[in-house]
Structure 1
Amino acid sequence: MSSRTTSARIEASIGQLLRRSTRAHLYDSMVAGLDGVDVTTYPVLSGVARWQPISATNLAVEIGIDRTATTRYASRLQQAGLVDRVPDPADARATLLRLTPAGEQVVETMRDRLVKHLDAATADWPDAQAQQFAESLERLVDTLSRR
């Protein structure tokens, strides 16, 4: 099999993974029954968890949602007690987003659910194949992130 064919298969799989319907299905399973978070606010909560403390403007760039929507979703998460706004030490006029202890618990629950979902999806894979896939995916992401 040529590398072009392999790359085309990877492209098709990444395209499917990034589809809104695929993401929504994953988000649904992660946020079900959790107070204050839903499929629309999930990317903001997850992004704050990864890059906190972070401004809404920078978070919008990282998660690919416009700043107005990011700010609106962050406000909903703040009202739910999952996110706080704290002063930006570099700019007294600005604020940064960070998780509250309740937000940290919700994120931990969501990540545990995703791990279980992935465990179930790969349950019938030989251990070596699952391990190789994880290593290959990490390498691909690392390579693409550096470009």
Structure 2
Amino acid sequence: MHSAAARVEAALGLLLRRSTRAHLYDDLVSDLAGVDETTYPVLSGIARLEPVSSTRLADEIGIDRTATTRYAARLEKVGLVVREPDAGDARSTLLLLTAEGRAAIDSARRRLVDRLDEIVAEWTPVEAELFATVLEHLVSKLRPES
């Protein structure tokens, strides 16, 4: 029998696998024009960090800066993202969501919450609350600032 920590490690390994994330992102953006599994992490990262430089965004989402810049340009081309000059660094620009970009990320996040609601609907309310609490605690301990 594996320890609880070993089971968590195995589950996290599966959750963090690129194929798992890509499948999830595909579900989240299936009806969003201009967003796909490659651009979703960029859109989501901008939503969480805006205004944000491509360099900081790349560091935060774990995609190299060149790819991040390319994906942001694709999102800009379809009107979901804009670039603005960085007042603190004349050589840099900052990425921000447009109203359409905000609507797209809100839609994707609602879809994710709906999917998670479907999953936890099979659990008791106590199990669902406990899982949320334990997951929040685990994430807080794994984050770099903890």
Identity of aligned residues (%): 58
Q: How does 1:96-107 map to 2 (within 5 A)?
A: 96-107=94-105
| Deviation, structure 1 residue 20 | 1.3
The residue aligned with 1:73 is 71
Matched, 1:36 2:10: no
Question: Given residue 99 of structure 1, which amino acid in structure 2 is its aligned partner?
Answer: L
Equivalent residue in structure 1 for 2:11, among 8, 13, 36: 13
| Deviation, structure 1 residue 114 | 0.2
Q: Distance in 2 between matches of 1:104 and 1:135?
A: 28
SS in 2 for 1:84: strand
Q: Distance in 2 between matches of 1:28 and 1:128?
A: 31
Extract structure 1 runs of 4+ deviating beyond 4 A. none
| Deviation, structure 1 residue 139 | 0.7
The residue aligned with 1:140 is 138
Q: Distance in 2 between matches of 1:14 and 1:8?
A: 10
Equivalent residue in structure 2 for 1:53, among 31, 51, 54: 51
Q: What stretches of structure 2 of length at least 5 have no aligned partner?
A: none
RMSD between superposed Cα atoms in Å: 1.2
Q: Distance in 2 between matches of 1:123 and 1:26?
A: 19
| Deviation, structure 1 residue 33 | 1.6
Q: Distance in 2 between matches of 1:88 and 1:20?
A: 32
The residue aligned with 1:121 is 119
Q: Distance in 2 between matches of 1:123 and 1:79?
A: 39
| Deviation, structure 1 residue 90 | 0.5
The residue aligned with 1:92 is 90
Q: Distance in 1 between matches of 2:36 and 2:26?
A: 7
| Deviation, structure 1 residue 120 | 1.0
Question: Given residue 15 of structure 1, which amino acid in structure 2 is its aligned partner?
Answer: G
| Corresponding residue pairs, total | 145
| Deviation, structure 1 residue 123 | 1.4
Task: Tell me the TM-score normalised to structure 1 length.
Answer: 0.95
